[in-house]
Amino acid sequence: MELTVLVDNNTLIDRYFYGEPGLSFLINDGGKKILFDTGYSDAFLKNASRMGIKLLDIDHLVLSHGHLDHTWGLDPLIRTYTEARIEGILHSKPILTAHPQAFCTKHMEGIGEIGTMLSVEKISEHFQIQLSREPVWLTQDLVFLGEIPRKFDFEGKESIGTTMSEHRVIVDHLIDDTALAYRTQRGLVIITGCSHSGICNITEYAREVCREDRVIDIIGGLHLLDPSREQLDGTLEYMGRLVPEELHACHCTDLRSKIELAKVVNLREVGVGLNLKY
């Protein structure tokens, strides 16, 4: 499996790409191309172009959750595929996989809509839709985890704004937040978007779904933004026991959290242009 960072808050030093407060990864596994999140704008398309990466032949499009910094790139992606159809350019029709609530309206007071701008009905005109609360295997070794059970009481409790559920406005605890897990011979690679459901909860569920206790890497946003002492200490204790070979914390992980994490794990740098092979 090969993973390339197309969008992150940061770019690698001396790499001339666009950064934004969003996330998008391209994964290649077993001849399949999986686009994980689309960031906030068309930056992931511009960066892919600069890297010589084509995105008209992706097999799967996966959304980690429904927030704007992970889904608003859907609009320029749809435009790209529509223009390919107009010009007769060869292209695929990706399968879009997400939690059923990823497309629910999400609001934040004083800001307004912070969720996906496009409805399932609109997107289904362009991509095949696969919504699931249960794990879905995208390739032989790469799994979409679906809804994450919230086991630990120190994380996954935060709410952000409101959302619609069964035609009711409720506090949004981001139950649509999910992740990917990849099986290697040496252990798991956990691939996250924002980890609103909790990085320890995600990792525990990935180990259960994949029936593998070893974890060699975690890459993605850990949602450690000015975390409470309880959450940070709980995460540090968990990671100290887990001892992954590497940890690639990015996107929504602040400097204080990275400094603390570096004391218990092998923390690695992340930015647009990073390429990892497992």
The enclosing domain of 52 has a CATH number of 3.60.15.10
Q: Compute the mean pLDDT over every residue in the chain, rounded to the nearest whole number.
A: 97
Q: How far apart are CA 175 and CA 102, in angstroms?
A: 9
pLDDT in tens, 178-216: 999 999 999 999 999 999 999 999 999 999 999 999 999
Instruction: Tell me the torsion sign for CA atoms 179, 21, 104, 151.
Output: positive
Range of the domain at 55: 2-277
Counting every residue written for the chain, the total comes to: 278
Instruction: Kindly indicate the confidence band of residue 59, based on its pLDDT and cuts at 50, 70 and 90.
Output: very high
Is residue 102 over pLDDT 90? yes
Q: How far apart are CA 181 and CA 177, in angstroms?
A: 14
Question: Considering its fold, how many domains does the chain have in total?
Answer: 1
pLDDT score, position 164: 85
Is residue 259 over pLDDT 90? yes
pTM: 0.97
pLDDT score, position 65: 98
Is residue 34 over pLDDT 80? yes
Instruction: Kindly indicate the confidence band of residue 224, based on its pLDDT and cuts at 50, 70 and 90.
Output: very high
pLDDT score, position 165: 80
Average pLDDT over residues 156-181: 93
pLDDT score, position 207: 98
Instruction: Kindly indicate the confidence band of residue 265, based on its pLDDT and cuts at 50, 70 and 90.
Output: very high
Token pair belonging to 250: 């990015």
Rounded to an integer, what is the distance from CA 202 to the centroid of its chain? 12
Is residue 45 over pLDDT 90? yes
Q: How far apart are CA 63 and CA 174, in angstroms?
A: 13
Q: How far apart are CA 272 and CA 262, in angstroms?
A: 21
Q: How far apart are CA 75 and CA 132, in angstroms?
A: 22
pLDDT score, position 260: 98
pLDDT score, position 6: 98
Q: How far apart are CA 164 and CA 175, in angstroms?
A: 12
pLDDT score, position 167: 81
% of the chain with per-residue pLDDT over 70: 100
